[in-house]
């Protein structure tokens, strides 16, 4: 498995932001580049990035498994991450998790049979006053979610 030249250029730009002795500081950015290209982070890809950064693969594996934005298993086309922290939970996120589980026919951490949706519970996304919050593919934030808004979102993503 090899990342593209363009991916390595992006990683180089991230590495340039840190002193040569602090390459591990570029871990999150480098793994993000790798995931954007490959869709998820298999162990051999993590090892490849670690080799490039000249840091232990175990250190990058820890980073990849700590942050919910990183996919250490194959995922669906759309990753739906629901914030599970207290403010969102008080706004009804747990009820929405149940709703999505039922609607999609999967559990948390699972992917629908058609490969479209993966359901994940994540940590605070910084929009605590606008909960419940759902993040699509780590980038697209949907706030003040309701069952109706979920229905619309799923329809739009399926279309």
Residues in contact with ligand FES by the rule CB under 6 A: 83, 85, 87-88, 124-128, 131, 133
What sign does the CA torsion over 121, 127, 133, 137 have? negative
Q: How far is the CB of 123 from ligand FES (least distance, A)?
A: 8
Q: How far is the CB of 93 from ligand FES (least distance, A)?
A: 7
By beta-carbon proximity to ligand FES, the closer residue of 127 and 136 is 127
Q: How far is the CB of 85 from ligand FES (least distance, A)?
A: 4
Q: How far is the CB of 86 from ligand FES (least distance, A)?
A: 6
By beta-carbon proximity to ligand FES, the closer residue of 12 and 140 is 140
39 conformational bin, left if phi > 0, alpha if psi -120 to 50, beta if neither: left
By beta-carbon proximity to ligand FES, the closer residue of 55 and 125 is 125
By beta-carbon proximity to ligand FES, the closer residue of 33 and 84 is 84
Q: How far is the CB of 147 from ligand FES (least distance, A)?
A: 18
**Alpha-carbon gap, residue 143 to 81, rounded angstroms:** 12
By beta-carbon proximity to ligand FES, the closer residue of 115 and 126 is 126
């Amino acid at each position: 498995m090899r990342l593209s030249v363009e991916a390595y250029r992006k990683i180089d730009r991230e590495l340039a932001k840190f002193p040569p002795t602090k390459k591990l500081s570029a871990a999150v950015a480098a793994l993000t580049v790798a995931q954007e290209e490959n869709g998820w982070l298999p162990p051999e890809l993590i090892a490849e990035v670690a080799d490039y950064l000249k840091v232990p693969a175990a250190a990058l594996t820890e980073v990849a498994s700590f942050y919910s934005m990183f996919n250490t298993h194959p995922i669906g086309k759309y990753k739906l991450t629901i914030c599970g922290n207290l403010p969102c939970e008080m706004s009804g996120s747990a009820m929405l998790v149940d709703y999505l589980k039922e609607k999609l026919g999967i559990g948390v951490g699972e992917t629908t049979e058609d490969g479209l949706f993966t359901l994940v519970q994540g940590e605070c996304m910084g929009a605590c006053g606008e909960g419940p919050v759902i993040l699509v593919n780590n980038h697209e934030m949907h706030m003040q979610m309701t069952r109706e808004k979920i229905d619309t979102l799923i329809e739009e993503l399926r279309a």
